[in-house]
Amino acid sequence: MQAALPATDPFVPEIYRVKSVERELADVTTIEVEPLSGMRPAFLSGQFNMLYAFGIGEAAISISADLSSSKSFLHTIRNVGAVSSALTDLEVGATLGLRGPFGTGWPVTEAEGSDVLIVAGGLGLAPLRAAIHVILGRRERYGRVTILIGCRSPLDILYRNEIEQWRQRLDVAIEVTVDHADADWSGNVGVIPSLIPRTAFDANDCHAFVCGPEVMMRFTASALTEAGIGTDNIYVSMERNMKCAIGLCGRCQFGPSFVCKDGPVMQLDKIASSLFLREI
């Protein structure tokens, strides 16, 4: 879970070309980008890149690619502002700047031999996607694997086709819940922490990976600890406004930590005192 800094100058973006564009949801797009020259750097599941839309600005975007893809990065982006809008409007062949990868990753190696519980809320599935691919690709190294996914509505389910492929496996349990259902929805309705009491795992030997809106992570962390999982085995992916991405500017300070270099993936026991305080 050690942070891995890029080999080149971390302040100088490399030029990448958009290889493919896929509209995931009404306001969410996945872009695949590859370097104009050289090889795509190695990365850890859970790390992020700084994507630069020329003339507009830069934003931290989680890497959602499969680690087995050696030539490109995948980034799933929600259109919420000027930079994200520019990035999601890019067409195949367009170029952008990219710095990274930065930050810490999910402890997929440390979790080997244990049960793994993955909890994703909304777009939080994107930073967890690479870890899911690693775990399912090495399935024999883990105990029970469960993926819990929460969304606002059935229309907001990210990577729906991929979730259906995961469901077809007999060695992983998947539950999806929505806050608001329509007449065609026959699945779970309710907040994602409500699924935890009825999920099978060994609380004494389980690693939990959690990513989603901060309020969702707070309630999920509480539910996990109430279920008996130790805070040292619960990992959350934090999100803050980032500028430098290497812990110099201080924009992403979270209590005594900096999300860009101490995170985004952080052990709950190290940040619990800050996570459970609102507005930090």
pLDDT of residue 85: 97
Contact, 43 vs 101, CB < 8 A?
yes
pLDDT for 274 equals: 74
* Amino acid sitting at position 133: H
- pLDDT score recorded for residue 65: 76
The predicted pLDDT at position 277 comes to: 63
What pLDDT does residue 10 have?
Answer: 84
State if pTM tops 0.85: yes
3-state secondary structure at position 280:
coil
What integer pLDDT is reported at residue 39 of this predicted model?
Answer: 86
DSSP conformational letter for 179: S
Q: What is the pLDDT of residue 29?
A: 98
Which domains does the chain show, CATH number per domain? 14-102 (2.40.30.10), 115-275 (3.40.50.80)
Distance CA 145, CA 178 (A): 21
Tokens 């190695």 locate to 42
Q: For residue 249, what are the CA distances in angstroms to 101, 109, 233, 241? A: 18, 31, 30, 11
Q: Return the amino acid letter for 264.
A: P
Note the pLDDT of residue 69: 66
- Residue 280: what pLDDT? 56
| Residuewise pLDDT in 10s, the chain (280 residues) | 545 555 568 889 999 999 999 999 999 999 999 999 888 999 999 999 999 999 999 999 999 977 776 689 999 999 999 999 999 999 999 999 999 999 999 999 999 999 999 999 999 999 999 999 999 999 999 999 999 999 999 999 999 999 999 999 999 999 999 999 988 899 999 999 999 999 999 999 999 999 999 999 999 999 999 999 999 999 999 988 888 998 889 888 888 888 999 999 999 999 887 776 665 5
DSSP 125: H
